[in-house]
Amino acid sequence: SGPAADSGAAYIFARNGATWAQQASVNPSNTGAGDRFGSAVAISGDTAVIGAPYEASGAAVVNGNQADNSATRAGAAYVFTRTAGTWQQQAYLKASN
């Protein structure tokens, strides 16, 4: 089966001279239907923060319970870092309220 509907994804491209190439496709650790992961992105060097405005976890701490889907459309952000060309999730961010 494929990804959940409207779960989202983010694609990272790198430039080498005048040529752009896809370096990675990243997904959050708790992909869910309708989360819209990738709706907002900030990137600096080897760090990317990617938003999922409709993610539904009721967690209220960094790296909290991602399986708790008690807060419809609460939103979340995910921090990914690049090491030796490989992007991996480092943190799952939720607001305290």
Q: What is the pLDDT of residue 16?
A: 92
39: exposed, middle or buried (Cβ count in 10 Å: 0-12, 13-18, 19+): middle
Q: What is the pLDDT of residue 66?
A: 93
Q: Residue 83's CB: how many other CB atoms inside 10 A?
A: 9
48: exposed, middle or buried (Cβ count in 10 Å: 0-12, 13-18, 19+): buried
For the chain, state the CA radius of gyration: 14
Going by the DSSP 8-state scheme, the letter that residue 8 receives in this structure is: B
pLDDT in tens, 14-56: 999 999 999 999 999 998 999 999 999 999 999 999 999 999 9
